[in-house]
């Protein structure tokens, strides 16, 4: 069942180990445990990458859009497992397939991030992901991740 309550930045900070400038999710809009999640990232001119990418036409790097999708998928994983990451837990990419970039994302855009569980086997999770702006797909990819304890 979809939870109608939004989860704010305080919730995200408890669930993800990422911090500024690498935390790329601002709010969770919907979550259905073990199934799907919908979140958002407000893209502002203050992002640290815009002065160099590109000064005349600021564009959010595609790799950071993929990272935002991975962070969204990690939120779904932690919430579904009923855990919060400790200092010794990280979620690693193990694969990115079928990544397609459809349109540029820039300052003022609101990136809607969606991830759904495609498969979970032997500690490897595969997600179908999509990011959109104003209903238009900007990137889609199949992401594979795993959670690991680090020493």
Closest CA to 73 of 18, 21, 4, 20: 18
Could you give the residue numbers annotated as active site? 53
Q: Is residue 1 in a domain?
A: no
Assess whether pLDDT exceeds 70 at residue 2: no
Judge if pTM exceeds 0.85: yes
Instruction: Give the structural domain span for 79.
Output: 9-149
Residue 106 DSSP SS3: coil
Assess whether pLDDT exceeds 70 at residue 3: no
Q: Give the mean pLDDT of 88-94.
A: 83
CATH number for the domain that contains residue 130? 3.10.129.10
Assess whether pLDDT exceeds 50 at residue 99: yes
Q: Is residue 2 in a domain?
A: no
Q: How many domains does the chain have?
A: 1
**pLDDT digit string (tens) for 104-133?**
999 999 999 999 999 989 889 999 999 999
Q: What confidence score (pLDDT) does residue 5 get?
A: 60
Q: Is residue 4 in a domain?
A: no
Q: What confidence score (pLDDT) does residue 61 get?
A: 98
């Amino acid at each position: 069942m979809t939870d109608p309550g939004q989860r704010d930045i305080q919730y995200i900070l408890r669930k993800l180990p990422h911090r500024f400038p690498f935390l790329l999710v601002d709010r969770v809009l919907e979550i259905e445990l073990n199934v799907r999640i919908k979140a958002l990232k407000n893209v502002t001119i203050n992002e640290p990458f815009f002065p160099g990418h590109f000064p005349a036409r600021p564009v959010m790097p595609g790799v950071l859009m993929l990272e935002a999708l991975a962070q969204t998928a990690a939120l779904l994983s932690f919430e579904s497992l009923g855990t919060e990451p400790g200092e010794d837990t990280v979620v690693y990419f193990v694969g990115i397939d079928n990544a397609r970039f459809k349109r540029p994302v820039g300052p003022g855009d609101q990136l809607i991030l969606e991830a759904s569980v495609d498969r979970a086997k032997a500690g490897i999770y595969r997600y179908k992901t999509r990011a959109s702006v104003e209903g238009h797909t900007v990137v889609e990819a199949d992401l594979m991740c795993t959670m690991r304890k680090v020493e």
